Chains A and B, each alone.
Chain A
Amino acid sequence: IGHPEIFPLVFTTKTQEIFNCRVDEDVTEENCFKLIKKEDIVQDLKTRAAISDFHPVKKVVLEYPGEELLVVFDAKFEYGQNFYLVASEEAKENLLKPPETTKEKEEEKEEEDREATLEVHPYKPPVHKPWVSLGSEKEVEEESVKDTVTKIKYMISRVRRKFGAPITFTDKNASHVKDSYVECMSYQDKTFSIKMLEKDVGIQMVPKVREASTQTKWTYPKNAATQYFPRQLSDEEEEECLSSEKLKEFLTSVHLRMEIALQQNEIMNAFFDDWKALAEDESSSGGKPDVYLKAYQLFTDLRYLKDRTISCVCWHPTIYGIIAVSARQWLSYEEQVNLSDKSLLQQSVILFWSFFDPIHPQLMLECPEDIYCFQFSPSDPNIIVGGCISGQVVLWDISQHEEKLQNAKTAADEIKMTAVNMVNASVLNILQYNSMSGPSLMQVQQSSTEPPLVRYCTISSIQYSHKKPVTDIHWLPDYSEENQMGATFGNRAEVCVELVTCSPDCSILFWDIPATKLPEQPSSEKKKEEEIFNMPPDVPDTLKHLDLCWKPLIKINLCESGINTEYGPVRISLRELHYHYKTSEKVQSLNTLEVPAKDSPRTEMSTPSSKNLKALESISTSFFVGTEDGEIVYSKWKMEIGSDSAKPHTQKYTIHTETITTIQRSPFFKDIILSIGGRNFAIWKEGVTNGPILQSSCSAGRYTVGQWSLTRPGVFFVGRDDGNIDIWDLMKKTHEPSHFQDISKSMIAFISPCIASAKQHFLAVSDDLGVLHVLELCQTLSHTLSNEHANVLEYFEREVKYLKHCEQEFQEYQEFQAKTELK
């Protein structure tokens, strides 16, 4: 319903009858309008009230201004009902009229249009109305253009004739006539020039690089050498420390650990290499190249050693390659007995040989008589003592020639032997270090090419010496008092100043060498200078005062008081004689210290006799003696206060049939002794009184001399009278020698082993013909096997046990015998 004036109505038949708008009778589709008076409608409304069809539009009807209302038949139900009421006049009019007009328009369209429209709308000329202003006058006024200024009128006239007259043109140069033209010249307008104050310019800069170098001397301190000494506590501080509580606590806490560790080491050697030991055993047993003694060198001298037997051979303790031999006349038994009648026809000497010069001896020591035995002093290898056939003891000092001996290598080329310049030599002896200066300083030419002859310094007094030849001589190590005090530590002054000698005249003598004896250069130098003309040259001054009045300290007579037998000791072995020459290295260094240090042990011995007695007391008083008759005597000697002699308690063994030639302690075991005499040898243990641990069977030839090996505990060498050397190895065989070798044609007189270096072990063998053989030991003989020491010790202990067992058995047997006899 878009039309507000249109109200759709439903007309019932009754209504249609009333108002004469019956469908298809009064009102048709074409004639659908019906005008109904308002009064009629109102009447109807009043009569029929609610059932009137106009009831819904009652209000519209009442308000309708006109008189007639238009009702239109809506055949097509445009508005929803079959009739609709038009509520307004205008709409009525429109509906009534326009359909008519449109009808008319269509009809009259072919005819003139204007007339139709004009006919519809009767033209009314516009009625003049008063103009109502709406305010637009103002705008109009503003927009309109008005003259504000009165216009000025000008009248311009010109004479008429000038109008239209012919004109003539002429040319004229513009530049000739002034002001004919106006120029507008250009000028520089300052307002338009801008002074440039800043300008951006690009610049390229290349740095100039130049290489230069200089060399400077930079000295900086660098340590060249530092000398320092260790800090040590002063005595008070030490005392304080020792007594402090902290130290006690420390020791209590620590000593347990230490003892455990020590015990561990004692129990077992944790680092024992079983494989290595096995290898050694392997190499020693089975398939081994044979043991041998390689001949190294041979020394003999036709002049001095002809028809002589070498009685003693000694290696120089410190200098390599120097060996000394003493020779004596070979005497038959009768001649030996009648010794006192014998006069020397030929001078006897001790010869020094060097490895580097096998032809010429290096040094000769003059001997008053034949020397039976001699020894180097262990503390000072320049002191040599020897025992003579006459029973005297002789002493040499070869300190002057030590240089020469040391330089035997370099001097070997020079045949000329040099004698010694006395004063220089004494200086040299102080400076023992620089041995290189030797040969140059000693170039004092001598006409002869003989080795220098050194006269003995001292010889003992005839009265107090032995009556028979001195057969054995040994040095005793010095026991100074320092040992007794436990507080001082340091090296014992191992200066040997005591000797022991024995002789078949049944006595053992102890000698001492007083303090001034050992070379003390400063004082003796002066003396030398004084007496340089009195003394024969080349003889040091030492102990001149003792010459021929040297007395022994103690004399021991070996005779048993009860039985009244006398023993003629030929060899002696004291317990302390066991000293190694290895210590001489230390001793050598002692010698090179300044002199004052040497003074100390000797100043203590200013009163020789009493002090030495004390010193001797500390020596153990047991000894072994081998006698002329083949007895081994084991004895102790006891000092009787006040007297110089001692009475021994003895034990004797008669194993050997002939003179004992050797008694020697083993260098490894202090209580094992080897004794050789006649046709057999025996090994004894000190303290085992039943008999020897080992006794060899009688051999075909006689044993003449024997020596323990220095490196192998179970090996010893025995020389025979047929020139062979037997090598006995206790670990291999005890019934026969493990090896023997023929060395010489004549009887072997002396054997001396030596360890020259770790690789070179020598054995010096001398024989009756005056020849000295130096043999090199092969490695098996020189190399200690592992555990050899222990094995040998075990062996000896086994033997001892066996011996005891035998003894016991024997005793039992005897008892048994006794019992059976009684029965």
Chain B
Amino acid sequence: AEVEETLKRIQAHKGVIATMVINAEGIPIRTTLDNSTTVQYAGLLHQLTTKARSTVRDIDPQNDLTFLRIRSKKHEIMIAPDKEYLLIVIQNPCK
């Protein structure tokens, strides 16, 4: 229930197109998009997050990745990584 609430709150933000929760292996757990798109996003972003995290830690092993934002022409993908899960939110930031 708390989980639902938090996700709903995030989804209710202005401009949010989609929200996704992915586990450590890249398998989507919760999503607001259709299956094929979700799976595609999950696979690609999971790899990217792993790469980004390994980059940060290579440079400084004490450091760790806290947030990843990808800004594209049409919208912005925000990824909050954790040890076991990944929270992905796609937002359209323009007014």
Q: Give A residues with C-beta under 8 Å from B.
A: 230-233, 238, 241-243, 246-248, 250-255, 257-259, 261-263, 265-266, 269, 271, 489-491, 787, 789-790
Contact = CB atoms under 8 A, between A and B. Distances in A.
B10 A258 contact: yes
Contact of B39 (A232, A258, A490): A232
A649 B90 CA distance: 42
B27 A232 contact: yes
8 contacts: A230-B27, A231-B26, A233-B27, A238-B29, A254-B80, A254-B82, A261-B69, A262-B91
A265 B76 contact: yes
Contacts of B91: 262, 265
Contacts of B32: 489
Interface in B27-83: 27-35, 39, 42-43, 66-67, 69, 71, 76, 78, 80, 82
A649 B94 CA distance: 39
B95 A258 contact: no
A474 to B, nearest CB: 28
Contacts of B85: 246-247, 250, 254
Main secondary structure of the interface of B (DSSP, over half): mixed
Given A232-B27, A250-B82, A262 B10 contact: yes
A269 B91 CA distance: 12
Given A233-B23, A257-B66, A265-B91, 13 more contacts: A230-B42, A233-B27, A238-B29, A241-B23, A241-B29, A242-B3, A248-B3, A252-B2, A252-B6, A255-B10, A257-B80, A490-B34, A789-B95
Contacts of B28: 232-233
A247 B1 CA distance: 12
A261 B67 contact: yes
Given A251-B6, A262-B16, A266-B13, A490 B29 contact: no
B23 A254 contact: no
A259 B3 contact: no
B35 A259 contact: no
Nearest to A258: B80
- Tell which of A231, A257, A258 has the most Cβ of chain B within 10 Å: A258
Contact of B30 (A242, A263, A271): A242
Given A250-B84, A266-B93, A489 B6 contact: no
Contacts of A231: 25-27
A231 B91 CA distance: 26
Contact of A253 (B2, B33, B69, B82): B82
A790 B91 CA distance: 18
A56 B9 CA distance: 149
Nearest to A238: B29
Contacts of B82: 250, 253-254
A491 B94 contact: no
Nearest to A251: B6
Main secondary structure of the interface of A (DSSP, over half): helix
Nearest to B89: A258
Contacts of B6: 251-252, 255
Q: How large is the interface on B (under 10, 10 to 19, 20 to 34, 35 or more residues)?
A: 35 or more
A489 B34 contact: yes
A703 B35 CA distance: 49
A262 B89 contact: yes
A497 to B, nearest CB: 22
A266 B9 CA distance: 15
A737 B42 CA distance: 51
A582 B66 CA distance: 38
Contacts of A489: 31-35
A255 B4 CA distance: 12
A265 B93 contact: yes
- Tell which of B9, B34, B84 has the most Cβ of chain A within 10 Å: B84
A262 B14 CA distance: 8
A790 B84 CA distance: 41
A251 B3 contact: yes
- Tell which of A230, A233, A252 has the most Cβ of chain B within 10 Å: A230
A261 B32 CA distance: 19
A262 B87 contact: no
B54 to A, nearest CB: 20
Contacts of A250: 82, 84-85, 87
Contacts of A263: 13
Contact of A262 (B2, B30, B78): B78
Contacts of A252: 2, 6
Given A242-B3, A261-B78, A266-B93, A254 B87 contact: yes
A524 B33 CA distance: 35
Contacts of A259: 9-10, 13
Contacts of B3: 242-243, 247-248, 251
Contact of A247 (B9, B21, B31, B66): B21
A266 B15 contact: yes
A490 B35 contact: yes
A269 B94 contact: yes
Contacts of A490: 34-35
A214 B66 CA distance: 59
Contacts of A790: 95
A251 B87 CA distance: 8
B78 A251 contact: no
B29 A251 contact: no
A789 B94 CA distance: 11
A257 B69 CA distance: 11
A442 to B, nearest CB: 34
Given A247-B85, A265-B91, A242 B16 contact: no
A813 B79 CA distance: 59
A263 to B, nearest CB: 8
Nearest to B67: A257
Nearest to B82: A250
Given A246-B85, A269-B93, A255 B16 contact: no
- Tell which of B26, B33, B69, B76 has the most Cβ of chain A within 10 Å: B76
A230 to B, nearest CB: 4
Contacts of B15: 262, 265-266
The 3 closest A-B pairs by CB, nearest first: A265-B93, A230-B39, A254-B80
A378 to B, nearest CB: 20
Contacts of B84: 246, 250
A260 to B, nearest CB: 9
Contacts of B78: 258, 261-262
B92 to A, nearest CB: 9
Nearest to A789: B95
B47 to A, nearest CB: 13
Nearest to B5: A251
B10 A271 contact: no
Contacts of A251: 2-3, 6-7, 21, 87
Contacts of A789: 95
A248 B30 CA distance: 13
Contacts of A261: 67, 69, 78, 89
Contacts of B35: 232, 489-490
A272 B93 CA distance: 11
A255 B19 CA distance: 12
Contacts of A242: 3, 29-30
- Tell which of B9, B16, B85, B95 has the most Cβ of chain A within 10 Å: B85
B85 to A, nearest CB: 5
